[in-house]
Structure 1
Amino acid sequence: MLTFTLPDGSTETVEPRTLLNAGYAGRNQDEVAHHIAELAELGVPAPTVTPAMYPISPYLAQQTDEVHVQHGRTSGEAEWALVILGDTENDVLLTVACDHTDRELEVHSVAWSKNASPDVLGTNAWRLSDVADRIDEITLKAWVGETPIQTGSLADLLSPKYWLDVLRERGLFERGTILISGTISMHPGVDQFADSWKVEMGDPATGNVLTCEYRTILMPAPIG
C-alpha cells in the first residue's frame, strides 16, 4: 500500500495494481529521435514506436529510502507520477518519482532494465486538478550524490493529460494504476553512477516542493 499526504494534511492510500513506465516521452519528438540514435551507439535497442510505455511489476512502486542493486551500473531518472484513485480527473494525484534502472540490462531490453529495481515515489502529492492550469511551470530536478544531474520542467515532457487519454483508451484509467512519466535530459559529463539519488518537483506558484530520495545498497556477491 502507498500513502500520500496532500497539502491540506489529508492522506490518500492506494494499492498499486498496474504500474507503467513511459519512455522516450519528451514533448519534442525530434530531440527524442536524436537521443534514440545516441543510445543506439551505446547498444541500447531502439523502441518500435515513440513514445513508449512499459508495464512494470506493480510491487515495484515503492516509497522507500533504500534500493538494493546487484552491481554499480544502475542509476535513477527524474520523473513525475500519476496515481489514479478513481474514475475522474479529480481522482488523480501527481507526485515526484525516480525510476531506478539497470544500465547493464538496458542494452538487452529497456523493459527488463526497468523491472530490475523499484520506481521510488514521493510520500507527498498534489491533486492533479489543483495544478493542471500551470502544469508546464512545475520544475523537475535531480541530484546524483551531491551533484546536480537533471534540470527542467514538466513542459519538457508529454503532459499528464496526454497519458490520461492513453490510459482511457486502454481501459487502464482505474484505481490503482500508476504511470511514471519518462525523464528529462541529463547534464553532459556528469557521472550518473553513485550511491544516492534525489529528485525534486517544485511548484513556483505556491513554493511547495515534493521530494523523493534514496541510497543504493550493493547486494552481496553471488555464489555460483
Structure 2
Amino acid sequence: MPQTLRFTLPDGSERQIDVRYALNAGYAGRDTQQVQHHVDELAELGVPAPKRIPTLYPLSASLVSRPDVVQVAHGKTSGEAEWALIVGDGPDDLLLTVACDHTDRALEVHGVAWSKQSAPDVLGDVAWPLEAIEDELDEFTLKAWVRHGDTEQLIQDGTLAQLRPPSYWVEQLKDRLVPGTVVLSGTIPMIAGVDQFADAWRVELTDPRGLTSRIVYSVEQLAAAWE
C-alpha cells in the first residue's frame, strides 16, 4: 500500500500525494571537487565509494513518512538536510519540499544503500509547485539543527545553490518519474565539530519571501536485542 502524505501549498490549499517510489540521490553537490573530497574522507572511515557520481539509491516507499519520533537500533544514526521532489499526477506536476534523510552511520560502512534502507526519509509540511519557484531555487536556504538534551545547535547551513537542481534529476530520470515518486537531493556539508548523533533534528527550507517548510522529530533508541 502506498504512503499517503498531505502538504500545504503556498496559497494555503492542501495537496495529497500517494507515495509509491523513493529515490535518494547521493554525492550530488554542484562543486565536484568538494564532492570528491567528501568521498575520500568517507573512504578513510571505511564507507565504500560509489561507482558513479552523483549516485542514486532506490528505497522502499514505506520509508517516506512524517513521524514525530524516529526509532533507531543504536546511537550512531543521524539526519541529513535535503530537498525532495514529489511527482503528482505526472512529470509536469512536480512539488518541492524539505526532507531529512535519516541514516544508520554504523551500517554505512557495510553499504550506503543498506544504511539508507534502515531509517525513514522524513518530508516537510509545506510544498511549492516547482514551476512557480524554479527560477529562484538558488535563493532558498536549507538549514538543520540538532538537539542534545535542552541544547539546540546549528549543524547544516546553506542554500540550494550547493546542490544539483531538480531539473538535473528530471532530465536524468525521465520516464522513471511516474506519479507518486519522491526524489531526495543529497545533502549539504555538516558544520565541523557539531555532534550529529543527536536526541532530535529540526530541518527548514525557506523561500526568498520567508515561507518555510519544516521537519521536527526526536530520536528514540530502542532496547537492545536479546542475543
Normalising by the smaller structure, the TM-score range is over 0.9
Residue in structure 1 matched with residue 136 of structure 2 by the alignment: 134
Matches within 5 A, 1:105-124: 105-124=107-126
Partner letter of residue 43 of structure 1? G
Point out 4+ residue stretches in structure 1 off by more than 3 angstroms.
none
Q: For 1:95-174, what aligned pairs fall within 5 Å after superposition?
A: 95-145=97-147, 146-168=152-174, 171-174=175-178
Q: Report deviation, 1:88.
A: 3.8
Give the aligned partner of residue 70 of structure 1: 73
- TM-superposed CA distance for 1:174, in Å, is 1.4
d(CA) in 1 for partners of 2:51, 2:176: 22
The RMSD of aligned alpha carbons is 0.8
- Counterpart of 2:183 (choices 172, 179, 185) is 179
Give runs of aligned pairs for residues 1-224 of structure 1, distance below 5 A.
1-89=4-92, 91-145=93-147, 146-168=152-174, 171-204=175-208, 206-224=209-227
Deviations 1:67-114 (A, max 9, x none): 00000000000000000002243x101000000000000000001001
> Quick one: distance in 2 between partners of 1:108 and 1:133?
39
Q: C-alpha displacement at 1:144, in angstroms? A: 1.0
Structure 2 unaligned blocks of 5 or more:
none
Q: Secondary structure at the match of 2:19?
A: coil
Unaligned runs of 5+ in 1: none
Once the two structures are superposed, what CA deviation does each residue of 1:51-73 show, in whole Å capped at 9, x if it has no partner?
00001110000011110000000
TM-score w.r.t. length of structure 2 = 0.95
Corresponding residue pairs, total: 220
